[in-house]
């Protein structure tokens, strides 16, 4: 049972207290001949995820619709077939926007504790990718809301995406997440509810999708896997509305990365194939290189060395085709050296330490943003330790610690913790000192 963030957000928008909603539901039930005696405690249980019985879900929608002055469906209050926050159910774009906006409002105001909710698996995890890849497409994404939206508003969202992505790379997802979610609630939601024609609407949904994807990245980096997946699914729906297959493939790549982290390796392979297949010739070399490299890592974990080698060759071939300035903003993370470090991880998993070290060292020699450099140094440290080069690993780890200072990231904290344990177990005095340095760093925010 997970918190019903959609009902919580609509309750706040309507200005109802728990007791107020209960009283109105009782009154609506009385009009239907039902003797209901709900109190505030019942509403609290609904917000925690308990589904009310009988006609009560319909009564909740009726009461909220009357207060808000617009239709409210079961999916809008988190009481649809899939709970309302996940895939499936009402596929109308307007309904999706209302539900997504409710989630952003709830998250921005910290009205429900959902970080502990795990990412969904099985069909609920696969369905959003299937819906993105297959018809029907959105024939018209124009809006008829009260606020007139113009090209400057679309540019505002694009600039915000670039700003928050840069902040994430410098400071980590923990520090950035609240800011980007607050922007989604305060700025993005009103624009999506605004007035615009189809052409501008597609540009608007594309810009919003890129921004929501950054929110997902920050949640992933904060180790909030459930919310991260939810944001990725939202970004994928916005990408479909935009008609930009390349943006959708980028969002699927984020889901591939999350699947690797959660050890869903076959899902990672399947998602990458879906992105490559659906985007087709529209996919850029940078994104194709990353997708093939992540597939190589997934195959390596599955013990399929032949398929891993095939994907490594494809990743390296695509990386050689990357041309700066010809890639969309979202794929800017595929910097020189990224494929090298991905390949190094795949080879490390396969036990091929010498070529793994060559790729990791090449990645470290290539300039990267702060966050990427920490990751590359961590991979090289682990490989050097496995090769018995403890003193060299200690030097690499020292550079890693220095680079990580000031970042707030659960993913980097986990990475440093793992490296610390490996250094401490090496038996080298220099490595032990490096492990102590990491331990001291972990006592304060990275």
> Is 355's pLDDT higher than 90?
yes
What's the 3-state SS for the chain? CCCCHHHHHHHHHHCCCHHHHHHHHHHHHHHCCCCCCCCHHHHHHHHCCCCCCCCHHHHHHHHHHHHHCCCCCCHHHCCCCCCCCCCCCCCCHHHHHHHHHHHHHHHHCCCCCCCCCCCCCCHHHHHHHHHHHCCCCCCCCCEECCCECCHHHHHHHHHHHHHHHHHHHHHCHHHHHHHHHHHHHHHHHHHHCCEECHHHHHHHHHHHHHHHHHHHHHHHHCCCHHHHHHHHHHHHHHHHHHCCHHHHHHHHHHHHHHHHHCCCHHHHHHHHHHHHHHHHHHCCHHHHHHHHHHHHHHHHHCCCHHHHHHHHHHHHHHHCCCCCCCCCHHHHHCCCCHHHHHHHHHHHHCCCHHHHHHHHHHHHHCCCCHHHHHHHHHHHHHHHHHCCCHHHHHHHHHHHHHHHCCCCCHHHHHHHHHHHHHHHCCCCHHHHHHHHHHHHHHCCCC
86 against 240, higher pLDDT: 240
> Is 446's pLDDT higher than 60?
no
Question: Average pLDDT, stretch 225-249?
Answer: 96
Report phi then psi at 81, rounded to 5.
-60, -30
Q: How far is CA 68 from the centre of its chain?
A: 30
Q: Write down the pLDDT at residue 368.
A: 87
Q: Write down the pLDDT at residue 271.
A: 98
Residue of 97, 231, 102, 212 lying closest to 161 (CA atoms): 212
Q: Write down the pLDDT at residue 82.
A: 55
> Is 26's pLDDT higher than 80?
yes
Token digits of residue 339: 């494929």
> What confidence category does residue 112 fall into, taking pLDDT thresholds of 50, 70 and 90?
low
162 against 368, higher pLDDT: 162
* Cα–Cα distance for residue pair 136/143, rounded to 1 Å: 19
Using a pLDDT cut of 90, give the percent of the chain over it.
74
Quick: pLDDT tens for 136-163. Answer: 999 999 999 999 999 999 999 999 999 9
Token digits of residue 329: 């903003």
Is the separation of the CB atoms in 344 and 378 below 8 Å? no
Question: Average pLDDT, stretch 252-256?
Answer: 98
Q: Write down the pLDDT at residue 113.
A: 67
335 against 390, higher pLDDT: 390
Quick: pLDDT tens for 50-97. Answer: 999 999 999 999 999 999 998 888 988 988 875 544 443 345 898 899
Quick: pLDDT tens for 280-339. Answer: 988 999 999 999 999 999 999 999 999 999 999 999 999 999 988 889 989 988 988 999
Token digits of residue 18: 């728990």
Q: Write down the pLDDT at residue 445.
A: 54
Question: Average pLDDT, stretch 181-200?
Answer: 97
Dmax (CA) for the chain in angstroms is: 79
Average pLDDT, the chain: 92
Q: Write down the pLDDT at residue 109.
A: 81
* Cα–Cα distance for residue pair 36/26, rounded to 1 Å: 5
Token digits of residue 89: 């159910």
106 against 153, higher pLDDT: 153
pTM as predicted: 0.89
Q: Write down the pLDDT at residue 84.
A: 47
Token digits of residue 205: 């949904």
Question: Average pLDDT, stretch 408-432?
Answer: 91
* Cα–Cα distance for residue pair 353/271, rounded to 1 Å: 28
Token digits of residue 5: 């963030």
- Torsion angle of C-alpha atoms 186, 190, 192, 198, degrees rounded to 10: -140
Token digits of residue 257: 């990365």
Using a pLDDT cut of 70, give the percent of the chain over it.
96
* Cα–Cα distance for residue pair 271/132, rounded to 1 Å: 11
Question: 128-132, 233-237, 301-305, 441-445: which range is least confident on average?
Answer: 441-445
């Amino acid at each position: 049972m997970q918190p019903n963030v959609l009902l919580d957000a609509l309750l706040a928008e309507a200005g109802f207290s728990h007791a107020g909603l209960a009283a109105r539901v009782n009154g609506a039930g009385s009009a239907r001949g039902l003797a209901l005696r709900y109190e505030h405690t019942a509403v609290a249980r609904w917000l925690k995820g308990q589904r009310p019985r009988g006609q009560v879900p319909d009564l909740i929608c009726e009461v909220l619709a009357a207060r808000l002055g617009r239709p409210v469906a079961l999916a809008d209050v988190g009481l649809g077939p899939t709970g309302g926050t996940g895939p499936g159910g009402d596929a109308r774009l307007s309904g999706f926007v209302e539900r997504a906006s409710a989630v952003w409002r709830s998250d921005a105001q910290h009205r429900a504790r959902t970080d502990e909710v795990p990412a969904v698996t099985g069909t609920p995890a696969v369905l959003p990718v299937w819906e993105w890849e297959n018809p029907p497409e959105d024939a018209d994404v124009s809006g008829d809301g009260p606020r007139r939206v113009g090209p400057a508003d679309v540019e505002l969202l694009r600039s915000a995406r670039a700003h928050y992505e840069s902040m994430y790379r410098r400071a980590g997802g923990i520090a950035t997440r609240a800011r980007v979610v607050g922007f989604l609630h305060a700025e993005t939601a009103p624009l999506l509810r605004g007035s615009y024609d189809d052409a501008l609407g597609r540009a608007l949904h594309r810009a919003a999708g890129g921004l929501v994807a950054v929110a997902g990245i920050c949640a992933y980096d904060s180790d909030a896997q459930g919310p991260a997946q939810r944001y990725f699914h939202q970004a994928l729906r916005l990408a479909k509305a935009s008609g930009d297959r390349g943006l959708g493939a980028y969002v699927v790549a984020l889901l591939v990365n999350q699947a690797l982290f959660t050890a869903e390796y076959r899902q990672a392979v399947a998602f990458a194939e879906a992105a490559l297949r659906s985007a087709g010739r529209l996919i850029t070399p940078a994104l194709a290189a990353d997708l093939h490299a992540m597939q190589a890592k997934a195959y390596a974990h599955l013990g399929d060395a032949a398929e891993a080698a095939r994907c490594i060759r494809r990743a390296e071939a695509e990386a050689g085709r990357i041309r700066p300035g010809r890639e969309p903003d979202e794929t800017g993370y595929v910097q020189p050296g990224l494929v090298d470090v991905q390949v190094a991880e795949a080879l490390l998993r396969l036990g091929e330490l010498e070529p793994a070290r060559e790729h990791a060292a090449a990645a470290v020699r290539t300039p990267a943003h702060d966050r990427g450099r920490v990751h590359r140094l961590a991979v090289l440290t682990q490989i050097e330790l496995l090769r018995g080069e403890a003193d060299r690993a200690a030097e690499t780890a020292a550079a890693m610690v220095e680079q990580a200072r000031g970042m707030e990231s659960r993913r980097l904290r986990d990475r440093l913790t793992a490296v610390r344990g490996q250094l401490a177990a090496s038996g080298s005095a220099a490595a032990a000192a490096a492990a102590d340095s990491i331990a001291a760093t972990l006592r304060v925010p990275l």
